[in-house]
Structure 1
Amino acid sequence: MIGLLRRLRRPAPFIEDVLWHAVRTDTAWTAALDDARADRLRALTARFLHEKTITPLAGLKLDDAQRVQLAALCSLPLLEFGETGLRGWSQLIVYPDAFRVQRTHTDAAGVLHEWEDDLSGEAWDQGPLILSWADVQADLAEPDAGFCVAVHEMAHKLDVLDGELDGTPPLPREWHARWARDFQRAYDDFCMQVDLGRETALDPYAAEAPEEFFAVTTEYHFSAPDVLAASLPKVAEHLHRFYGPSPFARR
C-alpha cells in the first residue's frame, strides 16, 4: 500500500526553467504563444517527454534542448485537445535526413506494385511517429512557409484515435457531422483544382487522400493561417476551433 501511495504521489513531469526558456525563445511557434498557452504547452511537452521515448538513428545525436524542442512541436496540436492525444503509441524515431521506405500495393487486377518513397515523416497507426531531423530544421528556419512535419504527423495520430484514419479526428457527434461535410466539400473541390492542373495556394499533396488533406491543412493552420483562411475559410474555422488560435494569427 505504501509503495502504491508513493507512485500515486509522484510529482508531475517538469521541464527546467532555463531549458524551457531557451526552447521557447528559439522556436518561432512557441515564442509566438501568449503566456497562458505557453504554460499549457510546457506541461504537454513535459508529459510527452515523460511518456515517449525519443530514439535518434543513423548516428544522429540530440541534446536535451533539441529533445524538448521536438516534443514541443509535436505537442502544439494538443493545446486544446489535451494529453489524451498522446494515447496509443510510445516512441518518436528521428532520422538525420529523409528516410526511405518500401511500398507495395495490389491493384484491382491483382497485380502487385512495389516502389520506394523518400519521406520526411510518417505516423504508424499503432506504432511510432517518425521524423526527419533535417526537415524539422527546415521547418524551424521558415516557420511561416506552410510546413511543419511534426505537426503534420501528429495530426495523423489525432485522426486515428477514433479507430479510422479518414481526416476526421474524435469529435462530438454534432460537430463531427459538420466537420465531415465541410471537409469533404473542400477536399473534393481542392482535388478538382489539382486534377485540372491549376495552381493552388496550399501544397497539392493535400489532394492525396482525406487524411492528408487534414494533415496538410493542419500545417497551414499553424504556419500560414492567413493563407488557409483565404483559401479554405470553412476548414480554417474548424481547425481554429479544434486547435485553438494559430500562434501566428493576427492579433
Structure 2
Amino acid sequence: MPGHWLQTLWARFEPAPIADPLWRRGLSGCPLARGLDPERQQRLRQLSTLFLARKRFHALAGAVLDDYWRLLIAMQACLPALQQGTGSLRGWREVLIYPGEFKVRRNHHDDRNGIAGNGGEAHAGEAWERGPLVLSLADVQLDLEQPWDGYNVVVHEMAHKLDMLDGPPDGVPPLVEIPRRRWIQQFQLAYDRLVAMPPDSCDSPIDHYATESVAEYFAVVSEMHYSRPALLREAEPAIAELLQAYYGRSPAEGSGR
C-alpha cells in the first residue's frame, strides 16, 4: 500500500513532538505565546517543533542552555514566522547564544555580507544572511520578564531573517498578499519622518535606533507590533496596519498595550 509506505517514511523523519509538560512550561514562561488564541498556539507548537529539529543551538562563552530555554527561544523566533509558514525559516541553521551582550569587530550592518545587528559595538543580537542567529541570553530573559515594553531581541533579529529571505536586508521581506509598492512607499515615508526628528525628541515612541536604516526600522517596529501595538498604531497607523497584515494579529491586542 503506497499510502501506508509514505506515512511510515514521513513518520520516520518527522521530528518528535514537544512533550506536553515542557510545552505547558514554555507557554507559562512566554507571555507573547500565551496571548495567542488556541489555534495559533497549536500552529506555534508545530513550528517550534520544526525549529528545534532543524536549528543547531550553540552555547558560547559560558552560556548555559537547557530544553526549556531552547524552547523559549524557538517560540519567540517562530512568532514572526507564524503567518509566513515553515518556508520562512529556510536558509540558515545555527543559533549562537552568549550569556550577555557580545562585541563584534564589524559594522552592525554590512550590505556585502548581509549582516544585521541590534546595537552598537556591544550587541544583544545579530542576524547573518544565510548565517547564524546570534542572541544574548540575558536580553532574551529580560524580554520575557518585561514583554510589553516595546522591545524583543528575538523578534528583532527574526525580522531581519525574514527580510533577508530575498537578499541583503532592505526592510522589504518577501510579500505575497501585500502590494510591494505600498509597503515600500509607506515604510519610506515613516522612516523619513523619524529621521527628521532630533534623537532626543519625545515626539515618537519608536526607538531612534530605527533611523540606522530602513531595515532597522522594519525590525524595530516589528518589536513594537508584538509588544506595544497600540502605541505603534497611534504613532504610525499605516505601518501598524501593514505589520498586522504581514504578521497577523498581535498577541498583545486586548491587553491595552
Q: Judge same fold: TM > 0.5, yes or no.
A: yes
Residue 168 (structure 1) aligned to one of 160, 166, 172: 172
Aligned to 2:213: 209
Q: CA deviation at 1:240?
A: 0.2
Tell me if structure 2 keeps the 8 A contact 1:194–1:207.
Answer: no
Gaps of 5+ in 2: 109-119
Report the CA distance between 1:173 and its aligned residue: 7.9
Query: Structure 1 residue 32: deviation in Å?
Result: 1.1
Q: 1:81 corresponds to which residue?
A: 84
Counterparts of 1:104 and 1:49, CA distance in 2: 30
Contact 2:178 2:246 in 1 (8 A): no
Code of the residue aligned with 2:154 in structure 1: it is: A
Equivalent residue number for residue 51 of structure 1: 54
AA in 1 matched with 2:252: F
Supply the AA of the counterpart residue of 1:248. A
Match of 1:21 in 2: 24
Counterpart in the other structure of 1:138:
142
Helix, strand or coil: the match of 2:157? helix
The residue number in structure 1 matching 2:181 is 177
Please name the residue that 1:108 is paired with.
Answer: none
TM, length-normalised to structure 2: 0.88
Q: Is the 8 A contact 2:96 2:135 kept in 1?
A: yes
Q: Is the 8 A contact 2:148 2:227 kept in 1?
A: yes
Equivalenced residue count is 238
DSSP-derived class of the 1:238 partner: helix
CA distance in 2, matches of 1:25, 1:174: 34
Residue in structure 2 matched with residue 10 of structure 1 by the alignment:
12
Instruction: Tell me the equivalent position of 1:234.
Output: 238
Report the Cα distance in structure 2 between the residues aligned to 1:60 and 1:174, rounded to whole angstroms.
Answer: 40
Asked whether the equivalents of residues 56 and 93 of structure 1 are also in contact (C-alpha less than 8 Å), the reply is yes
Unaligned runs of 5+ in 1: 106-115
Q: Deviations over 1:77-105 (max 9, x none)?
A: 01100111111100100000000001269
In the TM superposition, what is the alpha-carbon distance from 1:60 to its structure 2 partner?
1.4
Give 1:7 deviation, angstroms: 4.5
Please give the alpha-carbon distance, in whole angstroms, between the structure 1 residues aligned to 2:229 and 2:178. 25
Cα 1:33–1:104 change in 2 (3 A) is closer
Of all paired residues, the percent bearing the same amino acid is 43
* Alignment partner of 1:60 is 2:55: no
Q: Please list the CA deviations of residues 22-68 of structure 1 after superposition, one character each: whole Å capped at 9, or x if unmatched.
A: 10122111111110000000001001001100111112111111111
Question: What secondary structure, in the 3-state scheme, does the structure 2 residue paired with 1:25 have?
Answer: helix
Q: Is the 8 A contact 1:225 1:249 kept in 2?
A: yes
Once residues 249 and 65 of structure 1 are traced to their aligned partners in structure 2, the CA distance between those partners, rounded to angstroms, is 26
TM-score, with normalisation over the residues of structure 1? 0.90
* Contact 1:122 1:130 survives alignment (8 Å): yes
Aligned-residue CA RMSD in angstroms?
1.9
| Partner amino acid, structure 2, of 1:92 | V
Amino acid at match of 2:95: L
* Matched position secondary structure for 1:94: strand
Within 5 A, what are the aligned runs for 1:29-44? 29-44=32-47
Q: Distance in 1 between matches of 2:107 and 2:64?
A: 32
Cα distance in 1, alignment partners of residues 192 and 56 from structure 2? 38
